[in-house]
Structure 1
Amino acid sequence: MEKFSITRFVPPVLQELQGDRLTAREIAVKVYERHPEACEAKRQRSRAVVQPLDSYEGLIQQIVAEIGAQRQHLERRFGIKSTEERPRKYFYSTSSDDADVQAVEEGKPVTAPLRFDDPTAVLPVPRKPMEAELYPLLSQFLFSELRISSKRIDEKRSRNSRGPEGNKWLFPDVVGIENLTADWSAEVIDCAKAYSDPRSKLYSFEVKVLLNRSNVRQSYFQAVSNSSWANFPYLVTSEIHGDTLAELRVLAGTHGVGVIKVNADNPSESEILIPARERTTVDWNSANRIASENADFVEFLNHVKYFQQTGQLKSQDWDYASDVG
């Protein structure tokens, strides 16, 4: 009878599923289906006290725990990768982190060998969304869940008067405004005007489809560079691999740029993983630098000025809005 082994049983499950993302529980169930005798023998041998293996469910939970305990070993030796989401999901890929990022940026599907015994057999994996496809999803989340009206900043509408590299990391992908007075009475709004207190907050968003160990620092500092003008700066992504979130927390502690994870399938389930650290004032010198090069940003500033003058946000000025009034 074969002996139970996480390192022998788990990699083939993920490899044969061609990049599908599975939770540890889903993997454990498939391991049991493929190797019932080895799993039952493991259950019989177990003397666990905290989690007795006197049932199928107890055995599955034990396999789940062992998958988690050996995650880093599986990643180093067998091409297994994992996401930061909870529950964590595992998948197989022969690509390096750099290659994964490049494939995502180019909108190409990732391919992986179909079987250990036939490394030439490949099947395409459904591609991830392109970065441009995340912009409207982000705008929907920002308005529906956070009441932030947002606008896309298109680099193609830039003058680039300083040469090909003169505006590198200058433009955020999306900018936004939060109306702090939305639920205020007219008397409170008038009083705030008299005191010249802020009635809005400005946001900056740098969007990346995927963050992993190869691109996390570059992506983060790109967000640092192009968001220095805003009250709240964010790096946005739809997928985070491995232990990248831990690195993001370290960077956020120093530089204050927050992290948002967009759920591409259901934008309403997107979430702020790391809140941005507020800057109490807008850096208008930095804003002027962007405005001097980009027409979309000039339009954004005009919409902000209109709100400051009238207290109104016109829905037609923003990428996702119903009646922002």
Structure 2
Amino acid sequence: MTFLELAESVLKEENKPLTSSEIWNIAVKKGYDKSLNSQGKTPWATLGAQIYVNAKDNPKSIFAKTDSRPKKFYLKLMANTIDIDDNTIPEDLPPAKKKKFEYLEKDLHKYLTYFAYYHMHCYTKTIKHHVSNKKEFGEWVHPDMVGCYFRMEDWKKEVNDFSNAIGVRSIVLYSFELKRELSFANLRESFFQCVSNSSWANESYLVAARISEDEDFFDELSRLSASFGIGVIELDVDDPHSSEIIIPAKHKKNLDLETVNKLAMNNDFKDFIETVKIDLTSRKIHNKEYDTVEEIEKLKAK
């Protein structure tokens, strides 16, 4: 039995949307895990990743997902006979409570890399600030991470050749500023740090693993985002596939090449733009030149 076959059996028998953890727990109770063709140490994580990617990227997938957090899955053929908007708390989740947040900002990079790759089709690169000459840079010049989405991966060769011939850009460049958490205490400094180092990119995002749920805070965050076109991403370190863009960024057509030139004094950024150029020319993505996309099992094990 494959992971997807296991999920299909459980969802068909339970006849309701379930989280990946609920699917796994039910499968274990029914003994389906003993028929699973896998020797992995965290099969529940593999199950969740496979269902999510299949539901998102496979047009012929039998699975669909809800918009809730955490994500729940159901079979498309059962959509008219079940309550898709079921908002009950999953049985396998403990009561919500504040827990100690032990992650450093540098620890969050791998989660953003994972989310960007699977949900934005974006290849990321971490920019190490310490390798730059501080005399040539202001305090907030560097983004923490940069990224590139290659439209050519979705376009036919003829369309890509046509876009190049008429001067239509076939990439989207991203700038990311990461914070452990966002609240009124650090909102303005974090936000304007993101604004300061993102003028060069097509889209810019402020990223955090914990964002205040205060209504007044979110109103202010939304106001600033609307004013400056900065998007916001909330990372979920417990379930990376439940990370989401809570405020989309405003897309800018033109790049600030003067700032690109300044950032290129940093070797990481210079390597990034050189790799993007080579990939565009060769029409081949050199994955090893970008940040490594870790397996979901490794992310959830940390």
TM category, shorter? 0.5 to 0.7
Distance 1:126 1:204 in 2: 29
Deviation at 1:261, TM superposition (A): 0.3
Distance 1:128 1:249 in 2: 27
The equivalent of 1:230 in structure 2 is: 201
Distance 2:233 2:269 in 1: 22
Please tell me whether the aligned partners of residues 315 and 321 of structure 1 are also in contact (alpha carbons under 8 angstroms). Answer: no
Residue 189 (structure 1) aligned to one of 154, 157, 160: 160
Please tell me whether the aligned partners of residues 143 and 320 of structure 1 are also in contact (alpha carbons under 8 angstroms). Answer: no
Deviation at 1:287, TM superposition (A): 1.0
1:147 aligns with 2:118: no
1:260 aligns with 2:233: yes
> Runs ≥4 in structure 1, deviation > 4 angstroms?
88-91
For 1:148, the aligned partner's letter is: C
Distance 1:186 1:178 in 2: 17
Distance 2:148 2:126 in 1: 12
Residue 288 (structure 1) aligned to one of 261, 264, 288: 261
Deviations 1:4-43 (A, max 9, x none): xxxxxxxxxxxxxxxxxxxxxxxxxxxxxxxxxxxxxxxx
Distance 2:166 2:286 in 1: 25
The equivalent of 1:131 in structure 2 is: 105
Deviation at 1:159, TM superposition (A): 1.4
Distance 1:151 1:286 in 2: 17
Distance 1:286 1:258 in 2: 20
Please tell me whether the aligned partners of residues 203 and 231 of structure 1 are also in contact (alpha carbons under 8 angstroms). Answer: yes
1:276 aligns with 2:268: no
Residue 311 (structure 1) aligned to one of 283, 292, 296: 283
The equivalent of 1:198 in structure 2 is: 169
Please tell me whether the aligned partners of residues 153 and 171 of structure 1 are also in contact (alpha carbons under 8 angstroms). Answer: yes
Check 1:263–1:132 CA distance in 2 against 1; reply closer, same or farther (3 A cut).
same
The equivalent of 2:182 in structure 1 is: 211
Q: SS at the partner of 1:300?
A: helix
Of 138-147 and 237-246, the range deviating more from structure 2 = 237-246
1:157 aligns with 2:134: no
For 2:223, the aligned partner's letter is: V
**Which of these two proteins has the greater Rg computed from alpha carbons?**
1
Q: SS at the partner of 2:233?
A: strand
In the TM superposition, 1:160-175 aligns within 5 A as: 160-162=134-136, 166-175=137-146
Please tell me whether the aligned partners of residues 236 and 261 of structure 1 are also in contact (alpha carbons under 8 angstroms). Answer: yes
Distance 2:293 2:167 in 1: 27
Deviation at 1:211, TM superposition (A): 0.4
CA RMSD of aligned residues (A): 1.8
Distance 1:188 1:212 in 2: 45
Deviation at 1:90, TM superposition (A): 6.2
Q: SS at the partner of 1:204?
A: strand
Distance 1:190 1:213 in 2: 48
TM-score by length of 1: 0.58
Q: SS at the partner of 2:134?
A: coil
Please tell me whether the aligned partners of residues 203 and 232 of structure 1 are also in contact (alpha carbons under 8 angstroms). Answer: yes
Structure 1 alignment gaps of length 5 or more? 1-87, 92-124
Q: SS at the partner of 2:168?
A: coil
Distance 1:126 1:270 in 2: 19
Distance 2:132 2:115 in 1: 27
Please tell me whether the aligned partners of residues 233 and 257 of structure 1 are also in contact (alpha carbons under 8 angstroms). Answer: yes
Residue 218 (structure 2) aligned to one of 217, 220, 245: 245
Please tell me whether the aligned partners of residues 110 and 293 of structure 2 are also in contact (alpha carbons under 8 angstroms). Answer: no
Deviation at 1:161, TM superposition (A): 2.6
Distance 1:127 1:308 in 2: 40
Distance 1:170 1:183 in 2: 32
% identical equivalent positions: 34
Pairs aligned (count): 198
Deviation at 1:127, TM superposition (A): 3.7
